[in-house]
Amino acid sequence: MTAAVLPYVAVAFGVALAFALYRMVRGPGLPDRILALDTMYVNAMALLVLFGLMLDTVLYFEAALVIALLGFIGTVALAKFLLRGDVVEID
């Protein structure tokens, strides 16, 4: 059953990624683009986990972990930059 649904699930995540890409290209504002990037990294991580399932290997978990960490830090840095015009504040 898992093997049967896996391709469709991967397509659904892929379409989700495409929707986010559309929002990133279209904008209109910078927060929209950050939000789209945030959604894209989350979906890319899910696709990577699915790929690991398809290949029957646990190797991709490490990559998922790295994407999760870097994606979050990227989102925070970009949002913080919009908010304050600076990422690391020294006072």
Q: Which string of x and - marks every residue 6-25 that binds other proteins (by CB under 8 A)? A: xxxx--xx-xxx-xx-xx--
CB of 88 to other proteins, least distance (A): 13
Alpha helix stretches (DSSP H) within the chain? 2-26, 30-55, 60-84
Q: 3-class SS at 27?
A: coil
Kindly identify the residues of this chain, within the stretch 49-68, that bind other proteins according to CB under 8 A.
49-50, 52-56, 58, 61-62, 64-65, 68
Torsion of CA 3, 7, 57, 75, to 10 degrees: -140
Which CB sits closer to other proteins, 61 or 89?
A: 61
